[in-house]
Amino acid sequence: MRIGLFGQAPFGAAVYERLRERGHSIVGVYGPMEKAKPDPLAEAARRDGVALVQPRRWQRKGNTDEEAFKGYAATEPELNVMAFVTQIIPMRILDYPSHKTIQYHPSLLPKHRGRSAINHALLQGDTETGLTIFWVDEGIDTGPVLLQKRFPIEENDTVNSLYRERFFPLGVDALADAVDLVAAGTAPRLAQDESAATYEGPWEGDVAQIDWAKPAQFVHNFIRGSCRQPGAWTTVLGSTVRLYDSRLVGEASGVPGTVAAVGEEGVTIACSDGAVCVQDAMPDGGRRRPAREWAVQADVSIGTTCG
């Protein structure tokens, strides 16, 4: 099958390689313009002489950019595959191939629509998640489901660990399996249950300020649901610090937000009904480092208040 691959980054490159291994022809790669360093997917396309289309934007003033569209259409794909897409792609392009467009999404649709799906699964304390390959329509993650894969969320999973250990490898497999089904003419189109649908906005910027007066489980979910982006943050001794990779601590005394312990395992901070121990910290203007190292350098000790 002639595949037009929209994507970028290592995930896009891994999907590219897997589809070629399965015998599919990648006729075009489409992604954002590269900036400081080459993109892995774009580099793979250059290596193999595959058409590479990298417009600054796909539409201007609400209309498809004609130069970008012509570059895309010249590749004549039979199916668009959306692997890791951050640009807005016009429906004119999504509807262009004979088999239309399929897309990867890191949740069990219709739950957690939106681009911060992994974050919100953890923020809400979900114990199971998964990924969906769906047929793109005009809505946000609303198209018919082609296939899904489920897996558990472990107690200390973070956005980063879930993506690295499950969403990335299983997502590559799922997209390849989905393309095989489309090529065989056996790909389903299962309507999403709108009564079960949820949508959450982007979890980015400075939204992730920790409220230490919340229960420990809530704070734990908040920190791991913000790891590594945007990074849950608090203020300590007048400075802002982002905290990562927490663990629940059963018992800890002290006013919520008070440092209860500093040790090799990390920095323990009291919540309303227990405490969390954070392993890593990144002060403003600094690098991410073990929390104990940060605490020593910042003169943080037992009794220090986080706000």
Same domain membership, residue 144 and residue 34: yes
Same domain membership, residue 129 and residue 17: yes
Same domain membership, residue 229 and residue 128: no
* pTM for the whole structure: 0.94
List the single range of 56-65, 88-97, 177-186, 206-215 with lowest mean pLDDT.
56-65
Whether residue 23 is contained in a domain is answered as: yes
Same domain membership, residue 180 and residue 138: yes
pLDDT band of residue 61 (cuts 50, 70, 90) is confident
CA distance 161 to 288: 16
Quote the pLDDT of residue 64.
Answer: 87
Same domain membership, residue 15 and residue 74: yes
Mean pLDDT of the chain: 96
Same domain membership, residue 252 and residue 192: no
Same domain membership, residue 283 and residue 233: yes
Same domain membership, residue 293 and residue 235: yes
We report the CATH number of the domain holding residue 19 as 3.40.50.170
Same domain membership, residue 87 and residue 137: yes
Whether residue 209 is contained in a domain is answered as: no
Whether residue 204 is contained in a domain is answered as: no
Whether residue 66 is contained in a domain is answered as: yes
Whether residue 37 is contained in a domain is answered as: yes
pLDDT band of residue 250 (cuts 50, 70, 90) is confident
Same domain membership, residue 177 and residue 224: no
Same domain membership, residue 119 and residue 167: yes
Same domain membership, residue 265 and residue 133: no
Quote the pLDDT of residue 63.
Answer: 84
We report the CATH number of the domain holding residue 274 as 3.10.25.10
Query: 3-state secondary structure string, the chain?
Result: CEEEEECCHHHHHHHHHHHHHCCCEEEEEECCCCCCCCCHHHHHHHHHCCEEECCCCCEECCEECHHHHHHHHCCCCCEEEECCCCCCCCHHHHCCCCCCEEEEECCCCCCCECCCHHHHHHHCCCCEEEEEEEECCCCCCCCCEEEEEEEECCCCCCHHHHHHHHHHHHHHHHHHHHHHHHHHCCCCCECCCHHHCCECCCCCCCCCECCCCCCHHHHHHHHHCCCCCCCEEEEECCEEEEEEEEEEECCCCCCCCEEEEEECCEEEEECCCCEEEEEEEEECCCCCEEHHHHHHHHCCCCCCEEC
Total number of domains in the chain: 2
Question: What percentage of residues in the chain have a pLDDT greater than 90?
Answer: 94
Whether residue 31 is contained in a domain is answered as: yes
Quote the pLDDT of residue 33.
Answer: 94
Where does a domain end: 196, 224, 242?
196
Where does a domain end: 196, 230, 261?
196
Quote the pLDDT of residue 151.
Answer: 97
Question: What percentage of residues in the chain have a pLDDT greater than 70?
Answer: 100
Where does a domain end: 196, 231, 251?
196
State which residues form the domain around 56. Answer: 2-196
Whether residue 203 is contained in a domain is answered as: no
Residues 264-300: pLDDT tens digits?
Answer: 999 999 999 999 999 999 999 999 999 999 999 999 9
Mean pLDDT across the stretch 241-258?
90
pLDDT band of residue 162 (cuts 50, 70, 90) is very high
Whether residue 288 is contained in a domain is answered as: yes
